[in-house]
Structure 1
Amino acid sequence: MAMVGLFWIAEGDVYVGAKPSGLAPGVRLTPEGVVALGDRQSGVHLWEDVSALTMTDVPVKSLVRQAGVIKNLAVTMVVNLAIPMVPDRADEAPPLMTLHVTSPGAEHELSVYAAAAVGYSPTEIELSRALLARLTEGAATMTTTLTAMSEWGRTSEGETPRGAERERLLRSWAA
């Protein structure tokens, strides 16, 4: 499993945001359409009906956000050492992002969890949004793009690549 921009690629499966587990909300991109997963959202939005995909509420990577994550980890560790019976704060949910799926006469808001603990770089956000827009340019473009993303997921080592490589992948998929 690897994170590339706003996408989580697990073997051949492509998700927007983190891959959901259990009843957690999520979105999977398949050759058939945009699949809403989790509690309180379900269904398939077929590609022929999808005219736009836009992402909002994306946490932007910043020094303040990174410091906040480190501070929370430190506080949790100190509290757990001092009072072992206190519930672990590491179970707090990551930020929620919203994928807007536009189709004729309707817009659907689907929730997904952010996969990046400290947020996403502005460049990765911009490239990911361009890639989402590219997926709605027609069946051939969507198929070619999703196939390239899935193939990379099947052949990669399963680890999230470094920033420059993530940006290179996003550029190639959005081209």
Structure 2
Amino acid sequence: MAMVGLFWIAEGDVYVGAKPSGLAPGVRLTPEGVVSLGDGQSGFHLWEDVHALTVADVPVKSLKRQVGAVKDLAVGTVLELALSAGPGRVGDAPPLMTVRVESPDGDHELAAYVAAAVGYSQAEVDLSRALLSRLTEGAATMATTLAAMSQWGRGWEGGSPRRAEREGLLREWVG
């Protein structure tokens, strides 16, 4: 499993945002279409019906956000020890992004959890948005691009690559 830009790639599966588990919201990109997952947003949009695929509410990495994350971690650790509340307290969920699917039957807003703890670099956000746009350019482009992402995910071992490598992959996939 690895994060590359706004995408979470787990073996051959490609998600926008974090890979969901249980009833958590998420968005999966398959060769057939865009799948919305989670409680209250299950649905499927065929690629041939997807005119635009965009994402909003993306947190961009900044020094202020990084300092805030460290502070939240420290305060959370102290509270956890003091209150013995254990992991998984309410409020521990990451922020949500909005994935918009534009189709002939209307615009659909889907939720997906952010995978980056302190936000994404501006370059990764811009490249990821370009990649989402590229996926709607036609069946051949979408199939080739998703296949390259899936193939990379099946061959990758370890955690997420460093930022320069992530940006390089996104540039390659945007083509």
Q: TM-score range by the shorter chain?
A: over 0.9
Deviation at 1:86, TM superposition (A): 3.8
TM-superposition CA deviations, 1:50-87 (whole Å, max 9, x none): 01001000001011111111001111222333x24345
Cross-structure match for 1:109: 109
Residue type of the alignment partner of 2:117: A
**1:41 partner letter:** Q
SS at match of 1:22: coil
Q: Give the structure-1-normalised TM-score.
A: 0.95
Match of 1:163 in 2: 163
Task: Decide whether the 8 Å contact of 1:99 with 1:109 is kept in 2.
Answer: yes
Displacement of 1:158: 3.5
Deviations 1:91-132 (A, max 9, x none): 611010000000124100000000000000000000000000
Give aligned-pair identity as a percent.
71
The residue type equivalent to 2:72 in the other structure is N
Matches within 5 A, 1:91-170: 92-170=92-170
Kindly state the Cα deviation for residue 89 of structure 1 after the two structures are TM-superposed.
Answer: 6.9
The answer as to 2:59 corresponding to 1:59 is yes
Cα 1:155/1:135, change in 2 over 3 Å: same
User: Which aligned pairs between 1:82-97 and structure 2 lie closer than 5 A?
Assistant: 83-86=82-85, 88=87, 92-97=92-97
Partner of 1:77: 77
Alpha-carbon distance in 2 for matches of 1:165, 1:23: 32
The runs of 5 or more residues in structure 2 that have no matched partner are: none
- Runs of 4 or more, structure 1, over 6 Å off, are none
* Distance in 2 of aligned mates of 1:72 and 1:31: 39
Match of 1:42 in 2: 42
RMSD: 1.3
Q: Structure 1 residues 88, 126: CA separation in 2 closer, same or farther (over 3 Å shift)? A: same
Count of residue pairs brought into register by the alignment:
174
Q: 2:63 & 2:13 partners in 1: Cα distance?
A: 32
Q: Aligned-pair distance for 1:149?
A: 0.0
